[in-house]
Amino acid sequence: MDVTIIGGGIAGLALAHELAPDHDVTVLESSPGPRGGGYMIDFFGPGFYAAERMGILEELRSRGHEFEGVRYGTPDGVDSGRIDVGPLVQAAGGRYFSILRPEVELGLLAVLPASVDLRYGAQVVAVRDAGLEGAARARRAVVELADGTILDSDLVVACDGVRSPVREQVSPGHGAIVPMGYRVASYLYEDPELAAELGERMLMTDTVRRVGWAYAADDTRVGVMLAERVEGAAGTKRPEPDRERLQRDFTGLHPQVDRALAHAPESFYDDLVAQAIAPRWSRGRIALAGDAAHAPSLLAGQGTSVAIAGAEALARSLRATGPHVEAGLAEYERRWRPTVEKVQRSGRRSASFFTPSSPAQLRLQQIGRRTLGLPGVSRLVTRTFIAA
């Protein structure tokens, strides 16, 4: 059959990789090329196992990074604690590494079968289920591009991210994102001197309501992530990135973060931290995958992992049911939904302590960190985290 995938991000490319041996696959990506920029992600959990089965794990691992852990720092630049990543890696049986989000995309592109018709600069503006069409009365779905091109296929899968407009079509009333009470910005920039200073540990600020991370992405680049609590007032609209606001609101968390803020680029990732909840992932010949179906938010730390694993689950279900596409889509939900819901729940549980809401909560977290240093507690916590 012919399959059109909307979005050439993590889920879209992983799905194309898996469907290409059996189907004619077209991927429509609105950006003009692979999306650069981005943040360091922790890669573990279901996506790790899926990547192993897909034969792409070594490609991803070769692009990954192994940090020693996290160093905490106060606004006056004093180190206030550290956590080693070793026990986490051990609890995951070695199935854990860090990787820049754009490197996951480039890794998937490197292994993408040549038969996939990947079109950059292709912005989808409408999708519809065409119902039963033609002499064969076959079910079809249609996408329309901004340039007027119409593509007609047996199946359309929307892998167009957490703000996918297709979710509302498939699951009416569930198109909006579900905000988790935080806004996050992130960027990468060239700063070999600070990269050398940061070394093999991520810096996380020991601060209230606003938290900054800085890390050496490689020998020359520094990655920055800045998160703040925005309970209530934020709505669901994507905020406009504003460098001056970022510098004004986050300066003073730590001298190294201040330095990185002074180099903030004009354009950067900036959005509300949110989940996507959809009681249905398909309707007729239109389906959802990745963040479009089930974004767990960065609080769960597994969005990329479940985007890859969900794409693989969808391809596996379609393979198992052959020409019975609707049965394959139902099987995908039955098989995959319980895992995703568990990951989403773990994201919601993290929401209350992602950044401390008060000096008292900060103090509690500092005490918690000290007990984390005890081997038994550390093993217990890391096992719980990995199993989430």
Which residues bind to ligand FAD, rule: CB under 6 A?
6-12, 28-31, 35, 39, 41-42, 101, 123-124, 159-161, 184, 186, 225, 290-291, 295, 298, 301-305, 307
For the bound state, the minimum distance from the C-beta of residue 374 to ligand FAD, rounded and expressed in Å, comes to: 25
Pick the closer one to ligand FAD by CB: 72 or 354.
354
Long-range contacts of 193-196 (CB under 8 A, 24+ apart): 194/222, 194/256, 194/259, 194/260, 195/219, 195/220, 195/221, 195/222
Quick one: residue 78, left, alpha or beta (phi over 0 = left, psi -120 to 50 = alpha)?
A: beta
Q: Residues near 83 by Cβ (< 8 Å), separated by ≥ 6?
A: 69, 70, 369, 372
Q: Residues near 73 by Cβ (< 8 Å), separated by ≥ 6?
A: 79, 80, 203, 204, 205, 206, 254, 256
For the bound state, the minimum distance from the C-beta of residue 136 to ligand FAD, rounded and expressed in Å, comes to: 29
For the bound state, the minimum distance from the C-beta of residue 276 to ligand FAD, rounded and expressed in Å, comes to: 9
Pick the closer one to ligand FAD by CB: 301 or 328.
301
Sheet holding 286-288, edge to edge: 117-120, 24-29, 2-6, 155-158, 286-288, 282-283
For the bound state, the minimum distance from the C-beta of residue 217 to ligand FAD, rounded and expressed in Å, comes to: 13
Token readout for 335 is: 């098989």
Pick the closer one to ligand FAD by CB: 120 or 279.
120
For the bound state, the minimum distance from the C-beta of residue 21 to ligand FAD, rounded and expressed in Å, comes to: 21
For the bound state, the minimum distance from the C-beta of residue 365 to ligand FAD, rounded and expressed in Å, comes to: 19
Pairing of strands 117-120, 24-29: parallel
SS3 306: helix
Pick the closer one to ligand FAD by CB: 39 or 354.
39
Contact 308, 11 (CB under 8 A): yes
Pick the closer one to ligand FAD by CB: 37 or 327.
37
Place of tokens 């969900």: 310
Cα(332)–Cα(319) distance, integer angstroms: 11
Residue 140 DSSP label: E
For the bound state, the minimum distance from the C-beta of residue 182 to ligand FAD, rounded and expressed in Å, comes to: 10
Pick the closer one to ligand FAD by CB: 358 or 384.
384
Pick the closer one to ligand FAD by CB: 32 or 375.
32
Pick the closer one to ligand FAD by CB: 76 or 240.
240
Burial class (CB in 10 A: 0-12, 13-18, 19+), 62: exposed
For the bound state, the minimum distance from the C-beta of residue 78 to ligand FAD, rounded and expressed in Å, comes to: 26
